[in-house]
Structure 1
Amino acid sequence: MDFHPTEEQAAAAGLAARIFSDLATHERLVATGTGSDAELWKALTAAGLTSAVEEIGLLGLVLLLEEQGRTTAQVPYAATCAYGILPVAAHGSADQRARLLPALGSGDAVATGAFPARGRITAEDGRLTGTAPTVPWLRDATHVLVPDAERALWLVRTDAPGVRTSPVETTAPWSAGRLVLSGAEAERIGSDGAYEHTLAAARTAFAGLQAGVCAGSLDRAVQYTSTREQFGRPLSTNQGVMLRAADAHMDTEAIRVTTYEAAWRIDQGLEAREHALTAAWWASEAGKRVVHAGQHLHGGMGADLDHPVHRHFLWGRQLDAYLGCGSELLAELGASIAEGEQV
């Protein structure tokens, strides 16, 4: 395994860090509310950071999503890449790649996914029927990647006949929505195995986003406790504060290293289902601990709903729920391991 980024991956991550830090400021995030920042999205796509995912792979995307997570930037970047660019590039036909990838890369099209499959949507003769209660960034999306009850992948346009969307508020302001399909026409993406590959890649991508959320929360906590004094000395000099911050740092690194491993294996075409589940479990369980620690280390300031660290708390809890919560992921991982031992 080689987790060292390539020159192209490092350059893309550096550019993303500059764009997110310049435009995803606390003031802009407050003004954006539960919507997405159109100017920031335009800046990312104009810089080529969306289309670049085809070249830098999943590990490169994870590096970029860490930068988004650090600032909790309100753009549909993770969803468009995980449910649009990567699955179309990996499983789409030549016509689908030629037709869809340029629009997704330029930002003219925005993708999201009704994942994971819950058996709520059925397909018959290329038409979909069913409901996905909560789809992240659906309010921004032009296309939704939908797995049916048989775990085949379908791409449906949000403006197609038989498609209805309505806003849904989630813990984090992710421009989410409810998707209702009534015989909606869709196009098949890939064949057998496309769903499992896409699910593993998406879990890994959102685990990378969580690594960034945790790193951003911890950075804020370190800055606060290093400058906030109590009884004539910084809070950071107290042993209890140091131990809590150290635990949060180790949890964040565990999320990062398991995510890097899963991403690297997927990029290399290796079996990675259990590695993606492991990364998702760490992102869910450890991520929850880290964002709680970030608020706790801010003391009374952490209870302020308008404080920047609260956004990290909301995103961390939302990612915990979206990835499936630790117990659910652990049960799936255990079943997968047991199934492998029986083969």
Structure 2
Amino acid sequence: MDFEFTEDQKAIAEMAGNVFADYCTDDRLRQFDTSDHAFMEPLWQLCVETGLQSLAIPQAQGGSGLGMTELLLVLEAQGRALGQVPLWRHQLAAAALAQCAEPSLQAWAVEAAAGRALLTLELNGLTSAHGIALHATPAAGGWLLNGRVAALALAEQSHAALLLVEAEGQPRLALVELSAPAIRQVPGRMTHGEAIADLHIDELLIDVEQLLPASALSWLEPRSIAALAALQLGVSDEQIRRTVVYVSERRQFDRTIGSFQAVQMSMANTHIALEALRSCLWQLCYRLDAGLPAPCEALATAWQACEAGHLIGHTAQHVHGGIGVDLTYPMHRFLYWSRALGSALGGSAASLERLGDWLSHNDKLGWKYDLEEHQAL
């Protein structure tokens, strides 16, 4: 089995790493914290110039037509640098439209690939205890939307969004133009700096084709989980790296604190959690790029990401002591990001519950049941 990335994939990862590392210095992150900017617009322009914003959009719509492997390598670099740009939502929304929407909606994917339109999406209703709060009912010429969408990322800055709606008892995705008069936005901000808004939608009429087929949600959900997990992988990896540097330098009782057994064991646990997440994520990524179903792999990855983010984040804060919560020191940002990513994934309890429901209805699990024998070895 060959676990190596191709030379092209390594080149994309290196380019993304350089773009994010060069821009997202600790000083720039501190400046962004104290600004009122919704996201890092200069960094976003760099992503557009280098094509990072359209990797997963098909070539027919003007994108690069690459797979999840390339996108996740970029997202891992983004998470490592804490780059506040809407990479994954933008291009996965565009790719979902390219894959599943009617031809009349393909222009959105084209505009997104060119960087002329910003897209966002929301899937929180799948894991929320309140369920889906936006409902679609049949109406003359289309569907009528009523309800609420909580914490839509970059709602004020985006041109359109894929929103989770309940239509005839089933979860579906609807393409909604966010400038519609029937939408009232209540802006806010996540603790890690991402701009959000609650949407209150009253009697919004959309065309029939704007309600995407059920297959669109099945296509988008596991890829969204993989994207969030890749960000978490990058966040946690850098969190561990910085913490190792810190414990190697900080002295207490005439010794570096990294020489204490308790600190060593705590850091070993974080490394194990990180590698467990990495293995789970890349198995999911392989299946997505191979066109294989991955419902349980996606839920397992979501659980691993939530658990790893929590363990690594809190261990790093604990080892840093009071310095870790000093807002002039960078470590607190990594914990904020881990909390936000865990929330976007629905939390470990919700992911585990959904995985349990899946297992209770499926008696076959894993790669060995749906791959050829030579692939399963």
Same fold flag (TM > 0.5): yes
- 1:78 aligned partner: 88
Supply the distance in 2 between the matched residues of 1:27 and 1:189 (Cα, whole angstroms).
44
- Cα offset, 1:108, TM superposition: 2.1
- Unmatched 5+ residue regions in structure 2? 58-64, 126-130, 365-377
* Preserved CA contact (<8 Å) 2:257 2:263: yes
Aligned counterpart, 1:58: 68
Number of the residue aligned with 1:324: 346
Between Structure 1 and Structure 2, how many residues are aligned? 340
**Residue of structure 1 in register with 2:119 after alignment:** 111
**TM-score w.r.t. structure 1 length?**
0.93
Aligned partner letter, 1:307: Y
1:123 to 121, 136, 152: 136
Partner of 1:172: 192
**Counterparts of 1:228 and 1:316, CA distance in 2:** 25
Q: 1:217 to 1:139 in 2, by over 3 A?
A: farther
Name the SS of the counterpart of 2:202 in structure 1.
strand
Distance 1:247 1:139, change over 3 A: farther
- In structure 1, the partner of 2:31 is 31
Measure the CA separation in 2 of the matches of 1:105 and 1:252: 32
Aligned to 1:49: 52
- 5+ long unaligned stretches in structure 1: none
Aligned-partner Cα distance in 2 for 1:23–1:313: 20
Q: Aligned AA for 2:69?
A: L
By how many angstroms is 1:318 displaced? 1.4
- Structure number with greater CO (CA < 8 Å, separation at least 6) is 1
1:93 — aligned with what? 102
Q: Equivalents in 2 of 1:59, 1:128: separation in Å? A: 35
In the alignment, which residue of structure 1 is the partner of 2:161?
Answer: 144
User: How far off its partner does 1:39 sit?
Assistant: 0.2
C-alpha distance in 2 between matches for 1:113 and 1:242? 41
Aligned-pair CA distance for 1:169: 2.9
What are the superposed Cα offsets for residues 254-302 of structure 1, whole Å, 9 maximum, x if unpaired? 1121111112211211110100000000001121111111112212211
Return the alpha-carbon distance in structure 2 between the equivalents of residues 260 and 81 of structure 1. Answer: 20
Helix, strand or coil at the partner of 2:341: helix
Aligned to 1:255: 277
Following superposition, the deviation at residue 137 of structure 1 comes to: 2.8
Percent identity among equivalent residues?
30
Q: Separation in 1 of the partners of 2:8 and 2:156?
A: 32
Distance 2:192 2:226 in 1: 19
1:338 shift after superposition: 0.6
Q: Does the residue aligned with 2:84 lie in a helix, a strand or coil?
A: coil
Q: Is the 8 A contact 2:146 2:204 kept in 1?
A: yes
2:300 aligns to what? 278
Report deviation, 1:230.
Answer: 2.5
Which whole-Å CA distance do the structure 1 matches of 2:3 and 2:156 have between them?
Answer: 35
Corresponding residue to 2:151 among 134, 151, 167:
134
Pairing 1:291-310 to 2, within 5 Å after superposition: 291-310=313-332
The CA RMSD over aligned residues, in Å, is: 1.9
Q: Check whether the contact 2:176–2:210 (CA below 8 A) recurs between aligned residues.
A: no
- Contact (CA 8 Å) 1:123, 1:129: kept in 2 or not? yes
**Partners of 2:157 and 2:3 in 1: CA distance:** 33
Q: In the TM superposition, what is the alpha-carbon distance from 1:188 to its structure 2 partner?
A: 2.3
Matched residue type, 2:337: W
Q: Does 1:11 align with 2:14?
A: no
Q: 2:30 & 2:220 partners in 1: Cα distance? A: 33
Aligned to 1:53, what secondary structure does the other structure show? coil
- Contact in 1 for aligned 2:148/2:200 (Cα 8 Å): yes
Q: CA deviation at 1:63?
A: 1.1
Aligned-partner Cα distance in 1 for 2:105–2:8: 26
Look up the equivalent residue of 1:100 and give its one-letter code.
Answer: W
Q: For 1:179-223, what per-residue CA distance to the aligned partner results, in whole angstroms no more than 9, with x for missing partners?
A: 122233445264232212211111111011111111111111011
The alpha-carbon deviation at position 95 of structure 1 amounts to: 4.2
Aligned equivalents of 1:188 and 1:260: distance in 2? 33
Distance 2:327 2:298 in 1: 33
Which of 227, 238, 251 is the matching residue for 1:205?
227
